[in-house]
Amino acid sequence: MFCRKHAAEKEANLKKQTAEKEANLKKQTAEKEMNLKKHTAEKEVNLKKQTAEKEANLKKQTAEKEANLKKQTAEKEVNLKKQTAEKEVNLKKQTAEKETNLKKQTAEKEVNLKKQTAEKEANLKKHTAEKETNLKTAEKETNLKKQTAEKEANLKKQTAEKAPLLQPPTSLPLGLLNGLPSAGESLASSDCTTDLSDPTTGFVTIRITPDEQGRFGFNVRGGVDQNKPVIVSRVAPNMAADRSYPRLNEGDQVLFINGRDISGHTHDQVVSFIRSSTLQGILELIVKPSAAPTDPRAPCVMGDRRQATDPPRGGFYFFTANQSRKGLKDYVLNHLRTSDYVPADVMYVGDDSFWDGGGEEPEFSYVPLIGQGGDKEGRSPGSPPQPTPYRNILRSLLASNGQAVGQTTGARALAESMLILAEGIEDGSVIRAFETLYRRKPGMRSDQCKAMDNLVKNRYRDICPYDDTRVTLRNPPEAQNDYINANHITIEVPDSVPPANYIGCQAPLPNTMGDFWTMAFENSCPLIMMVTVIAERGRVKSHKYWPNQGDTLSFPNGLSVTCKRETDMGAMTIRDFLMVMDNKEEKSIIQIMFKTWPDHGVPESPKDFLNMVYHMRKIKGMNANPVIVHCSAGIGRTGVLILMDVALSMIDAKIPVYPVEIVETMREQRALLVQTSIQFRFCCEAILRVYTDGELKYRP
């Protein structure tokens, strides 16, 4: 009983305590809520006060900035108006001066034009009088030619009747015939027959029977669409054309096909005429043989010894080897050409302009690449060309099918192209093909070169870059003049990485140094190949456009050039430069200066030349940006170096190398590249030397 009462008291006390605690807790909670509301209200009042102050300050600052901005804008407008007014005054002044000068020049031109017109009228009257005087003489000459033609027709008729008696015997010894059918064979059974040449014209008629596959075995190039005569570019060994008697030679000019005059037909039409002869079973060509054929079966052409002053046949003239160059200027002024016929606008012979009376080429001297006596490099200056051993070496390589040729189709095609090149050097056909190339691509304009502001930027006034391929400057040192005498040259080499990209240009002048370095910077060129010296034979060939080691050159467009290092390697000097634009963007470039290559000639040491080429290729590496190449005018030695580098890229890629076609492609992008036949032959022999000796021998 007691326990129950005690438990009830405890429970009553516990409830009482719990009720008190709850009452206290509610009281405390109510007090805290009151305090929190009071504190929150105070914070809100303070926050609104601070926000109002900040807004007032911000409005005040904004008003001050707007006032200052309006003031500055007003000042700038006043200054701009002032500057604009000054510029307008200066522009009007300059315009007035230009108009005055233009009027003065126009007046002078009008006076000169009137003077020239009067002189032309006087000459025309004189020429008309001479024509009238010669007209009677021409009538007499016409009658004389008619009589001569009748006599020639009768002579040909008599010769045709006697032709069976003039056929060569078929049983002569093989050594004496040297290529005719051997004893017991009939001449008629050969694939080709040939009429006797007409000794009064020098032309040869060749009849060729196609083989079983309908092939004649020769290629031609040229046509009226190319403004070139049709020339035999290649005769395949041991095929129908090669077995003709006389032999159809590379370099022969085709005049008639099956009695058709082809002088007015395109290249495609000429090829079509030849192919259609397959159906007829015989091809008849009338050709003008190339000069001095070396094949013992080639005809001994009599006649055709025209003087240089005679009218041209087919648009080009011939000059004999012993003719003096003294009168060449007069011939060029009358649009005559040497044996490498060129368009009438070509005015350059040698790196010096002969319009100024300078720079005649030295006498011919041949520098063989393989030792045949002479000095330690195999040179024999002044000696005539001797047959090279390349052909026998390459034939052995092809026959052995060994490692030097390789087992792939590409390697064998390359080896065959090397054999064709070696044979072309020996018989002179590849040199003759080079000499038939146009020096300047027809239709390509060079107007920028002749602009008044650009004349002072040309080292030679007759060496002009094509407008279509010229290099343009984006940020030139001289404001608003993007001209520099330089062309982009790109040769597509399949499977070659990187592509063959170059910039061919003239050597800088004192006033074009900034243009030159700007071009190098803007095109990110990795290398400059300088294949000339500063002065040669008392003539300045290039300005010293680079700073000395440790020095810096600065230009108005913000470009600076510093020479970091210079290394003398005997025949070469290598310099490292750092180019910086506006003290921000930096680019490095290397210059190789080759010092033993005389103007108009070939390097003194072929080994040094090849060593220089491989230094160039090693530094260029896989960089696809263009390499700058320059000599003095940027055509002769520049072209040789580009040709050599492209050929080595083709050899590396196992692609056939045809130097004449490479030069033709180069000249489509910069005129006159590879200046002389001596330079071209030197480069061809250097290509053969690398291929037969192995390139590792010349790597640095």
Strand partners, 527: 590
Residue type, 149: A
Strands 228-235 and 218-223: antiparallel
**Number of separate helices (H) and strands (E) present in the chain:** 12, 18
Q: Give the DSSP letter of residue 230.
A: E
**Nearest residue to 459 via CA among 356, 308, 317, 330:** 356
Q: Using CA of residue 289, residue 294, residue 299, residue 302, what is the dihedral sign? A: positive
CB 66 within 8 A of CB 59: no
225's tokens = 């669409």
H-helix or E-strand spanning residue 504:
strand 500-505
Half-sphere exposure of 47 (CA within 13 A, CB side): 6
247's tokens = 């032999």
CA dihedral 395, 399, 405, 408 (to 10 degrees): 130
Half-sphere exposure of 483 (CA within 13 A, CB side): 20
CB 350 within 8 A of CB 675: yes
> Cα–Cα–Cα angle for 186, 191, 195, nearest 5°?
80
**Nearest residue to 592 via CA among 668, 529, 639:** 529
The alpha carbons of the chain give a radius of gyration, in whole angstroms, of: 42
**Phi, psi dihedral angles at 283 (to 5 degrees):** -120, 125
Cα separation, 206 vs 177, in Å, equals: 18
**Nearest residue to 673 via CA among 457, 494, 437, 365:** 437
CB 648 within 8 A of CB 608: no
Please tell me which residue in 505, 563, 631, 684 is annotated as part of the active site. 631
Strand ordering across the sheet containing 627-630: 470-472, 483-491, 500-505, 627-630, 527-530, 585-594, 572-581, 559-568, 552-554
**Phi, psi dihedral angles at 277 (to 5 degrees):** -70, -20
3 included as an active-site residue:
no
Distances (CA, A) of 627 to 503, 510, 700: 6, 22, 19
The angle, 0 to 180 degrees and rounded to 10, between the axes of the packed helices 409-427 and 390-400 is: 160
Tokens 């087919």, residue?
314
Distances (CA, A) of 302 to 159, 169, 223, 305, 470: 17, 23, 27, 8, 47
Count other C-beta atoms under 10 Å from residue 352's C-beta: 22
H-helix or E-strand spanning residue 192:
strand 192-194
Hey, which residues are catalytic here?
A: 631
